[in-house]
Copies of this chain bind each other. A is one copy, B any other.
């Protein structure tokens, strides 16, 4: 029997308890031993429920119980979650987490701590909810030289953009709808400003390219400035606006990771990732492109990924599988300044001024546009160049276009 302690009893923590309880027979058969929840750490009094008997408020009970072999951290944040993860690893316990913020900020340290104590630190649920992505990158694609990760990593913003495209809602209307449906938090900043996607692309970049990339090293732009007009012009160009996290290995080995809205061609697999779904494209020298698609959040999908990690830790209790990457640093990453893409520009300008600034461009159209408004797609260039060239146009929107 493997004894587990769950830290936190919110959406994910209660989901983990439920998935383990509901699949106990199948799990025991697959792991060849039962998984038993011994404790659930809660920080305040909780209403009675099926797992009330397991509630404890003092982490040291878990820390000091030698029977606990796997600690499941679903608290979120980098405060108590960091402290308890360190203490659990130092106490000889494997740790499984869904906490993307903690992995993005402290992954290197915690992986090292796990390794030096001959323990597993697993985080499949931290990116893409229940979509398998961490293990496929680290194992199935191991014979590839990976070159780029590009994905729709945040379901809330993808829902908002989908509703703007399909239902013609404004950003504010679509956000309100997402909040009413429980897809967006009351304070939606972490989602709509791109920070959630940023943490996830940093985890994927660290895993894929081998050095820790911190969220502060990834330029991050959200979707709050996307207007219905932009969505309509994009449609005229056969494209959809998607918030993408991208991480690319540069020829010198450094990593460029960033989060920004992009116009994506309607024929591309990512364009068809709609609503709250996530899609993550991984490019490698042998494999070409593969994409992983599914619900990137939600109680049960995320919990099932956590439980799969618990099962993996339980199966490898005697012989660890290490996920690993090297320390980060200022020399590990470069900014997105040098990234060359096409650009979508919306501006108040005369066609002749646009052509003087950009040469031959593809103009886009929407019904009801004011006479002076022009929207167009440029040739590939850096942000600095597009800003210089458009300096004399009355620019209203500037969005990257994903290449084919």
Q: Chain A residues in contact with chain B, CB under 8 A?
A: 19-20, 23, 26-27, 30, 124, 130-132, 135-136, 139-145, 267, 269, 272-274, 284-295, 298, 300-301, 303-305, 307-308, 310-312, 315-316, 318-319, 321
Contacts and interface: CB of A to CB of B under 8 A. Distances in A.
Given A20-B143, A286-B304, 6 more contacts: A130-B290, A135-B139, A142-B308, A286-B301, A286-B303, A293-B293
A19 B304 contact: no
Contact of A132 (B19, B26, B285, B290): B290
Contact of A290 (B267, B292, B316): B292
Contact of A286 (B124, B272, B273, B300): B300
A142 B308 CA distance: 6
Given A286-B19, A288-B294, A292-B290, A132 B143 contact: no
A26 to B, nearest CB: 7
B269 A304 contact: no
Contact of A143 (B19, B288, B290, B298): B19
The 9 tightest CB contacts between A and B, nearest first, are A132-B140, A290-B294, A286-B304, A143-B307, A132-B136, A291-B293, A286-B300, A319-B319, A130-B287
Contacts of A27: 142-143
A30 B142 contact: yes
Contacts of A135: 135-136, 139-140
A308 B139 contact: yes
A316 B139 CA distance: 12
A143 B23 contact: yes
Contacts of A132: 132, 136, 139-141, 290
B300 A289 contact: no
Contacts of A301: 286-288
A291 B290 contact: no
Nearest to A305: B140
B293 A287 contact: no
Contacts of A267: 274
Nearest to A274: B267
A295 B283 CA distance: 11
A141 B289 contact: no
A391 B54 CA distance: 63
26 contacts: A23-B144, A30-B142, A132-B132, A132-B140, A135-B140, A136-B136, A139-B311, A139-B312, A140-B308, A142-B311, A142-B312, A143-B311, A144-B304, A269-B293, A285-B300, A286-B301, A286-B303, A287-B294, A287-B295, A287-B300, A287-B301, A288-B294, A288-B300, A288-B301, A292-B293, A319-B319
A401 to B, nearest CB: 20
